[in-house]
Amino acid sequence: MNNKIIFILISILIILSSVKINGVTNQESSIIIGPFPQNTGRDSTYIIWQTDIKTLNNSVHFGLYSNCNDTIYKKNLTDFHKIRLEDLNPSTKYYYKVISDDIESDIHCFQTSFEENTSIKFIAYGDTRGVWDNWKNASIVAKAINEEQPSFVLHTGDFVNDGEDISQWIDYFSISKFIHNCTIYPILGNHEYYGDSYFKYFEIPGNGYWYSFDNGPIHFIGLDSNKKNIFNPNQIIWLYNDLKSNEKTYTIVFFHHPPYSSGNHGSSYIIRLLWKPIFSMFNVDIVFNGHDHIYERGKVNNIYYIVTGGGGGPLYKVGEKWWTINSEQSYNYCLVKADQNELFFQAKKPDGSLIDSFIIKK
């Protein structure tokens, strides 16, 4: 058999290996997003994942141990999967994995919301937007967050550069390994563009634009600071009523556009006018923001205003204003540990070095 015939036979085999058989390719299929928990409460959570092909038999296997002996099935021919787990215990770590036909994930874990008298640990950060450097710096920050093993993460918006580009969301979830083992609580940045993917991949409490939740001794409020809703009286009235009914030890608010920033974009004076008086009236402890790709801590009327927009986007210059306690041009994330007596805050670089810290005592 001469070389020409051998070459033709090999070419035929390569072609046949990629031909669809009964509508399914011979190539190995995979999970392209997730799995990850969403909207995790005291007794429930959602597990979300996406496969690169449509699958019919989809299931979440979960339990208190890594054998994941409880199972919820969902028969639905689709490539996007979302299953709700119910009747869970509060303050409890669960293991889980997902199976879609012959596709099986690794075993991951999630943590249900903590009781009020329990200490908690979480991360706040934002502006991952990694398209500009092929997600290099966003990957470095995400790896550092994963090593912290937080129970949940607040993201201050601008996950991607173009919220309507599905490939960027796939990239974000692919580099963010921590998502498998903790819940992300998102808010809308200006680069989400209210795209469908944001509302598809995040199971958001409330109306999807603004919401609140409790975990441990902290009440959290996420707001939409984009033009569509910044003046919305429904959001402002809701914010007032939500804070009025809040009885938690600490209150933390997070949204995208900072009312106090020394970065390129600067401060939102509209938010200072419309929202800040409400924050002051109800003694909010911390406000987390992004938008400016910097780290900055300011303090106004006994409220800490933290800009943590160093999640991976191109860094901006930063200065100092009358409210500034600490500011730095660096990639960063914020680590918070809290119990009913003390809240301990650290701003850290991805290499673990400390940028800033403070303590709030109650």
Positions in the chain short of pLDDT 50? 13-26
214 class by beta-carbon count within 10 Å (0-12 exposed, 13-18 middle, 19+ buried): middle
| Residue 3: predicted pLDDT | 54
Sign of CA dihedral 350, 108, 195, 204: negative
Q: 3-state class of 222 per DSSP?
A: strand
Contact indicator for 42, 112 with CB cutoff of 8 Å: yes
| Residue 28: predicted pLDDT | 80
- For residues 239 and 117, what is the distance between their CA atoms, to the nearest angstrom? 25
- For residues 304 and 319, what is the distance between their CA atoms, to the nearest angstrom? 17
**What one-letter code names the amino acid at 234?**
N
The kind and range of the H/E element at 12 are helix 3-17
β-bridge partners, 253: 221, 287
Among 33, 29, 35, 85, CA closest to 55? 29
Q: Which CATH superfamily is domain 120-361 in?
A: Metallo-dependent phosphatases (3.60.21.10)
- For residues 3 and 99, what is the distance between their CA atoms, to the nearest angstrom? 44
Contact indicator for 169, 148 with CB cutoff of 8 Å: no
Sequence spans of domains, the chain: 51-111, 120-361
Contact indicator for 322, 291 with CB cutoff of 8 Å: no
| Residue 5: predicted pLDDT | 56
CATH code, residues 51-111: 2.60.40
Among 23, 74, 24, CA closest to 49? 74
Sign of CA dihedral 99, 105, 108, 113: negative
Among 266, 270, 310, 309, CA closest to 291? 309
Q: In this predicted model, what pLDDT tens digit does every residue of 243-278 receive, in sequence order?
A: 999 999 999 999 999 999 999 999 999 999 999 999
Strand 31-38 and strand 45-63: the pairing is: antiparallel
Contact indicator for 35, 47 with CB cutoff of 8 Å: yes
